[in-house]
Amino acid sequence: MQHPLVLSTENDRTESANIQSPPPASPADATAPQQFDNNINAQFAASPIPEYLAMVAAAATPDANKQQDYFEFNTVGNGRWKVTGMIGAGSFGQVFAAVDLDSGANVAIKRELTDGPRQDLRHEYSAYQYLKRVEGFPRIYHFGTEGPYNVLVMERLGKSLKQLARENLSRKIPLRTIIRLVPQFLRRLQSLHEVGIVFRDVKPDQFCIGRFGQNIHDRPTVFLIDFGLASSYLDSEGKHISRLKPDKNKAKTGSARYASLNVHKGKTHSRRDDLESLAYTLVEAVKGSLPWANVTAASSIDGWRQIGILKADTSVSDLCEGIPQEFGFLLEYARGLHFSDAPDYGMLVGMFAKLIVDIDENYSQNQDHALIGRAAKIPTLLAVPVVSVSPVTLDAPGRAVPLQLKVSAPFAALSSDSSAELLPIILLSHGHGQSNFLSSLHGYAPLADFWASRGFVVVQPTHLNSKSLSVKSADAPMFWRSRVQDLKLILDNLDAIEAFLPHLRGRLDRDRIAVAGHSIGGHTANLLLGMQLVDEEGINVNFFEPRIKAGIVLAAPGNGGDDLTPFAFEKIKFFRNSSFSEMTTPALVVIGDKDVSPHLTARGFDWHADAFTLSPGPKSLLTLFDADHYLGGISGFDAVETSDENVERAGLVQRLTWAYLRSTLYPDDPAWTIARAALDETGLGKVESK
């Protein structure tokens, strides 16, 4: 059975030039170029019509001069709804203000002729039936006929985004206001897409802010309205429709100003195109206009052509200049999706939700944490916003549970351009702390976010030792062997991770991979970097991973044998025989000079430096003064588990580890040399190298 929202070609409403000028006085006048209003939907490309706005929710005061366009009768629905005025009109219908005489509620009534050239209201009513009781879509009270008209009675909403913009001379809506609303815009498209519908005409007219009479500053609900062009992207079997052969010459559906590049090329609409149109809508709302807003053209076809050229030639950086980079990422992300890809709405909502917090806290990406102090002397790149997605789940045969990951990446560097710079990768292995949260993919935000905001893709697994899993097995409690297998599984499945995350497709640099780990996570990192051990059954274990080119080892366990306490020797058998002599991969070992572990070793803090002192070069050792096992709070600021809460110290770890990896993975990058020189001025620590 065909989805009721699948429209025929004849039923597509396409945009025309909609030139409302008097008949030309001469042939010369007839060919003169005119301004192309690329925000207007017209019924047929061959027959321009007046603007037919999405007036469902118009909050304009009924126009007393249009009383002649009232219904021939004053009430609708057997006298339930009393018409009070006209809101607006187009070629194929009108919208009236009315009052529910039973409840006193304000409603909007749309009408069209039952024998008119189009039957949009029946189609629109059908679409709304898929969205009953879904937040952000107007309530429908009645659909039927009144004399010669089809009528649709619905709740009356607030002003559209377009109307709000036009109330300002600049045509702009305050950035802070828009950012607060973006998550709702995204959720509306998600709700629509989840019932199998693509909107095909996303633009400012179609978003209404709140209900009738509600103030935009009251944090209102955003409503999506007017489904005249909506269609299903699913076939009769519930599968995604097939892509049709692009036809640049076919009549275009939607509004040229906001149409995606693929629609300009004559490609079939899918979810990605709604998302791209939303990006243009938001940029226009924040900046007041789009570069192609004032195109002049003699016809609709020429207007679409000119706008398509301008749109393709305008870089994302130029389009989004002066506004938060999240808007540019949204556009790049939408353009990077394939025809049948489902957008990651949660990731996008989370990105803008974080931006809301940053804006509210007067955050500037060019400023450091207020308490970072002397660590600011270590130079680094300016931060860019971070996109984090979790959980990303990998099947792991034989593992107690599938492997869940968090993947964080800088979106300012992301692009759908296949020639764009590749992004280096860090595998970050968590420790074995008491916290359910920090010892999982959710922990170590101070490191993961910092590295990702400065150019790395950071992949964080939840190992089986995490308390959030409560897994019991013979390998418990440390799960030292499965931890290494987790990281190898990630390396084996980078293609799958890219496929799951369209914004990273083709962007992972498999030649520049590093591993980092804290505490027992440092032990995991050491094994991948070349450290060997003898396991509980006396078998020599070698997990060396040649795909890893650099390491960050943070407060990791040291040598075994006589250096262990009787407790550690008895209970943690895989610590007994560790050999660092084969650990040849370059690494930075980080320790604190107050990190003593009397339950594990009779030696002092220097036990944690064994990965440096007992291994061959090239290696570096960073010793932090007055730091204990948590190195200032790298696993999480303001956490009970963090006994060493020192933002300045943690900031030093952030910056120096980043600089080391930059120079190790990119040998021509002087970041590490510069950072070492700057460290001498801080008095916070020292570096040795070999």
- Cite the annotated binding site for ATP by residue number: 110
The first and second tokens of residue 183, run together, are 């998550």
Distances from the Cα of 590 to the Cαs of 221, 444, 517, in angstroms? 49, 15, 10
The first and second tokens of residue 538, run together, are 């006396």
Residue type for position 322: G
Q: How far apart are CA 579 and CA 555, in angstroms?
A: 17
Where helices occur in 71-154 by DSSP H, the ranges are 120-129
Q: How many CB atoms lie within 10 A of CB 306?
A: 17
Q: How many CB atoms lie within 10 A of CB 50?
A: 13
Nearest to 255 by CA among 194, 308, 189: 308
Sign of the Cα torsion 517, 518, 520, 522 reads positive
Dihedral angle computed from the Cα positions of residues 102, 103, 108 and 114, in that order, rounded to the nearest 10 degrees = -20
3-class SS of residue 554:
strand
Helix axes 345-360, 175-194, angle to 10 degrees: 160
Buried b or exposed e, range 628-639, using 16+ CB within 10 angstroms = bbbbbbbbbbeb
Q: How far apart are CA 618 and CA 607, in angstroms?
A: 19
Residue type for position 78: N
Nearest 5°: the CA angle 425, 371, 593 is 70
CB 357, CB 391: distance < 8 Å: no
Q: How far apart are CA 46 and CA 326, in angstroms?
A: 39
CB 122, CB 114: distance < 8 Å: no
Instruction: List all residues 6 or more positions away from 377 whose beta carbon is below 8 Å from its beta carbon.
Output: 678, 679, 681, 682
Where helices occur in 91-136 by DSSP H, the ranges are 120-129
Q: How far apart are CA 624 and CA 584, in angstroms?
A: 24
Catalytic residue among 12, 37, 201, 226: 201
To the query of whether residue 201 is one of the catalytic residues in this protein, the response is yes
Q: How far apart are CA 359 and CA 186, in angstroms?
A: 19
Q: How far apart are CA 359 and CA 314, in angstroms?
A: 27
Which residues belong to the annotated binding site?
110
Distances from the Cα of 588 to the Cαs of 3, 5, 496, 515, in angstroms? 59, 59, 30, 11
The first and second tokens of residue 18, run together, are 């909609």
The first and second tokens of residue 643, run together, are 């006994």
Q: How many CB atoms lie within 10 A of CB 29?
A: 11
Active site residues: 201
